A and B are shown apart, each in its own frame.
Chain A
Amino acid sequence: MIYFDNAATTRPNGEALKRAAEFTTELYFNPSAKYGGGFAVFKKLGEMRDSLLKAAGAAGRFDLIFTSCGSEADNQAIFSAAKRGNAVTTAGEHAAVFSSFTELKNRGVEPRFAPIERDGSVKAESVLSLVDEKTSLVSVVHVNNETGAVNDIAAIAKAVKEKNPRTVFMSDGVQAFGKLPFSIPSEVDLYAVSAHKIGGLKGTGGLFKRKNLSLTPYIFGGGQENGLRSGTENTYGVAVFAYAAELKFRTLGEDAKRLERYREKLFAGLDRDVFTRISPENGSPYILTVSAEGMRGEVLQRMLWDRGLCVGTGSACSSKNRFSRVITACGYGERVLDGVIRMSFSPATTEEEIGEAIEILNATAREYQNTVLASRA
């Protein structure tokens, strides 16, 4: 099977799993325990934290709080930083940010949503025009998870800070971390990441926090993670995360270049009468979103699965939530929204797979046209 749904989750990295296995055998101790075994695990946890900070180019400037997922990291950041006035985000955010902002309304903070462009990116002016002296938080997704559009968060953060230096700036970096060559800019205060998008395991995430920025805990308890995230550390998950990231970062630049070429090759091979491109050309090399206009993405997705190609989708057959909120915000009509499919890659993606995928996609779309669209005229 050709797996092109890596933005949903990736296959865990086998080498990382093997290396981390000691945390399930010898090193099973609680890192808070005060005897030798506990201390050994505690020390290793510190090393893994440092290695991830280094990978993000954030060593010395940032702390890293381990969480149970990217969504938790987003929630922790938002509900800790948006305590008064208003909070600004974009219409192109992942649900973990978008729904948290909607919830802010119930907590007495006014949420503001900046419109996005047709490719899913947000213009700095759109964000800035919503920022005022009462803005406590601005959140802008780094890579749009549905279109792959990349936002220049360094520039936006800088502009936000110039307008209101007291505003906290956060970014959901789940689709960027370990994929784009990048180090967290100093204007960014909080940066949320997830392990299972880069070969780690589900159940592990992290929040990079600028040093000296004070946060309130989201989960209270035994005071782990400097009191910011209680609960016994997921040592195995963190280890897989750190080792997978280490491997990922080693070839990050080459991977991005190669996948960009693959992405363009894939799109170039697709039947233009059927597929419309939604992803921008300067977006993440890891994501290509297209629409098979007039077809149902979900049906196409299952037909592709049966033919050995696994892709993501932006629509559902269900009448509730039929269309993707984000792609709708990009300004497309129903026919395009219905047919949205997302192909997302990993460094394991091969050029042969791209070639095969092109054939499967074109043939399946033709079959769909012949059976469903070609009704008695």
Chain B
Amino acid sequence: MEKVIIIRYAEIHLKGKNRGYFERVFANNLEKALKGIRHEIHRTSGRYLVAAFDEERTYEIMGRVSKVFGVHSYSLGLLVASDEDSIFEAVKEVAPQSGTFKVETHRGDKHYPLTSMEISARIGGRLLDANAALKVDVHTPQHTVYIDVREGGKALVFGMFCNGVHGMPVSTAGRGLLLISGGIDSPVAGYMMAKRGMTVELLHFHSYPYTNEAAKEKVVTLAKIISDYTLVTRITTVSVTHIQEEIHKNCAAELNVTLLRRFMFRIAERVAAHVGAGCLVTGESLGQVASQTLEGLTSSNAVVSLPVLRPLIGFDKEDIVALAKKIGTFETSTLPYEDCCTVFLPDFPAIRPKLSFIEEEEKKLDVDALVEEALLTREIIRF
């Protein structure tokens, strides 16, 4: 009898001839997620087993598995020989001490001498004989004991299903560059894209000395939290201090943020080329702030040729907050270190800036030189 963690995968089964590729990436991601803990991963038809693991760290392993995209559900169970006595011994371990129960059997090995119904009935009967405090209820049981008879004379026995995060294995859907601030939205946007299988690289803009080191540290903390999901462990940072100063000095105050965002997108496109990303990802949500109006988004899009994905575009703030709480970034995001000092914020930012006006104002700056200069401040932090 061996303790195992049974992992079932989500959408991969929909894939036809590419299934093998998705399965290999998924297994690779599981390995990455469990790095540093003793374990083995075995593939059986339609599921993975984590075996020979450090039992003291069982719950840590389950916690990590719960964050791997592509996991539909997982269970802590026992792997035993498929003879009836061995299955019964395992069922005794898993079964409750009292209350109502039923046994549900799945029989993958069609050569097994008993049918699923027969196995359930016989094991259930023996369990009743062994423990008078148990009662059978096949309709609304308090507990269900699952038996999964596999090929090769093996069976899995477990007591519950835990929900996985679903989605597609990361790194099966290309590479994107997430513009991450210290706020609530962008980490959630990164999570959403990673959930669809994207490898999410990170880029953070700071404006020291107008923002402080704690703000940058906060972003690294956020990056670490989402790396449990995205499996990406590096972040690029670029200073936009001088750009902000130049905009502030030379251009119309109400376009401050709009112009800065255009610079950020230009720099992001360059960084994307460097990390091999084929799109930009932002946490923008329509109408949330002045720069996230249709006109604002249009003006940013106008300076790049890469597609810009905005997974949160139709989300309400409360939906984003709920997701941030679920993935564990909310508490860090709401720490009081601001990633954008209010020093440069105009009293009335333009809500519907006209592209012609923006371009006219931008002509007052040496855009290319400022972008090049900013790129010189690029740092890559690995964690």
- Interface residues in chain A, defined as those with a beta carbon under 8 Å from any beta carbon in chain B: 296, 298-299, 302-303, 305-306, 317-321, 371-372, 374-376
Q: Are A372 and B337 in contact (CB under 8 A)?
A: no
Q: Are A317 and B338 in contact (CB under 8 A)?
A: yes
Per-residue 0/1 for B185-227: is the Cβ within 8 Å of any A Cβ (1 yes, 0 no)?
Answer: 0000000000000000000000011111000000000000000
Q: How far is the CA of A302 from the CA of B212 in the complex (A)?
A: 8
Q: Are B210 and A299 in contact (CB under 8 A)?
A: yes
Q: Which of B209, B248, B338, B344 contacts A303 (CB under 8 A)?
A: B209
B residues in contact with A321, CB < 8 Å: 336
Q: How far is the CA of A159 from the CA of B269 in the complex (A)?
A: 71
Q: B251 interface residue, CB < 8 Å from A?
A: yes
Contact of A296 with B249 at beta-carbon distance under 8 Å, contacts A302-B208, A317-B211 already known: no
Closest approach, in angstroms, between the C-beta of B260 and any C-beta of chain A? 14
Q: Which of B211, B249, B338 contacts A374 (CB under 8 A)?
A: B249
Closest approach, in angstroms, between the C-beta of B338 and any C-beta of chain A? 6
Q: Which of A306, A317, A375 contacts B210 (CB under 8 A)?
A: A317
Q: Are B245 and A317 in contact (CB under 8 A)?
A: no
Q: How far is the CA of A77 from the CA of B245 in the complex (A)?
A: 50
Q: B44 interface residue, CB < 8 Å from A?
A: no
B215 to chain A: closest residue by CB:
A317
Q: Are B248 and A375 in contact (CB under 8 A)?
A: yes
Q: Are A318 and B336 in contact (CB under 8 A)?
A: yes
A residues in contact with B212, CB < 8 Å: 298, 302, 317
Contact of A372 with B248 at beta-carbon distance under 8 Å, contacts A296-B341, A296-B343, A319-B338 already known: yes
- Beyond known contacts A296-B343, A371-B249, A372-B248: 20 more, CB 8 A cutoff: A296-B210, A299-B209, A299-B341, A299-B343, A302-B209, A303-B209, A317-B212, A317-B341, A317-B343, A318-B337, A319-B336, A319-B338, A320-B336, A371-B245, A371-B248, A372-B343, A375-B248, A376-B250, A376-B251, A376-B253
A residues in contact with B336, CB < 8 Å: 318-321
Interface centre among A296, A321, A374 (most CB of B within 10 A): A296
Closest approach, in angstroms, between the C-beta of A322 and any C-beta of chain B? 9
A residues in contact with B342, CB < 8 Å: 317, 319
Q: How far is the CA of A21 from the CA of B249 in the complex (A)?
A: 56
B residues in contact with A318, CB < 8 Å: 336-338
B residues in contact with A296, CB < 8 Å: 210, 341, 343
B residues in contact with A305, CB < 8 Å: 209
Closest approach, in angstroms, between the C-beta of B242 and any C-beta of chain A? 9
Q: B252 interface residue, CB < 8 Å from A?
A: yes
Closest approach, in angstroms, between the C-beta of A306 and any C-beta of chain B? 7
A residues in contact with B344, CB < 8 Å: 372
B residues in contact with A317, CB < 8 Å: 210-212, 338, 341-343
B340 to chain A: closest residue by CB:
A317
A321 to chain B: closest residue by CB:
B336
B residues in contact with A302, CB < 8 Å: 208-209, 212
Closest approach, in angstroms, between the C-beta of B94 and any C-beta of chain A? 47
B337 to chain A: closest residue by CB:
A318
A318 to chain B: closest residue by CB:
B336
B253 to chain A: closest residue by CB:
A375
A317 to chain B: closest residue by CB:
B341
B residues in contact with A303, CB < 8 Å: 209
Closest approach, in angstroms, between the C-beta of B346 and any C-beta of chain A? 9
Interface centre among A302, A319, A376 (most CB of B within 10 A): A376
Q: How far is the CA of A374 from the CA of B245 in the complex (A)?
A: 10
Interface centre among B208, B251, B252, B336 (most CB of A within 10 A): B336
B residues in contact with A299, CB < 8 Å: 209-210, 341, 343
Q: How far is the CA of A372 from the CA of B342 in the complex (A)?
A: 11
Q: How far is the CA of A376 from the CA of B210 in the complex (A)?
A: 19
A residues in contact with B250, CB < 8 Å: 376
Contact sample, A vs B, 11 pairs, CB 8 Å cutoff: A299-B209, A299-B341, A302-B212, A317-B210, A317-B212, A317-B341, A321-B336, A372-B245, A372-B248, A372-B343, A376-B253
A305 to chain B: closest residue by CB:
B209
Q: How far is the CA of A286 from the CA of B135 in the complex (A)?
A: 80
Per-residue 0/1 for B29-53: is the Cβ within 8 Å of any A Cβ (1 yes, 0 no)?
Answer: 0000000000000000000000000
B residues in contact with A298, CB < 8 Å: 212
Q: Are B245 and A306 in contact (CB under 8 A)?
A: no
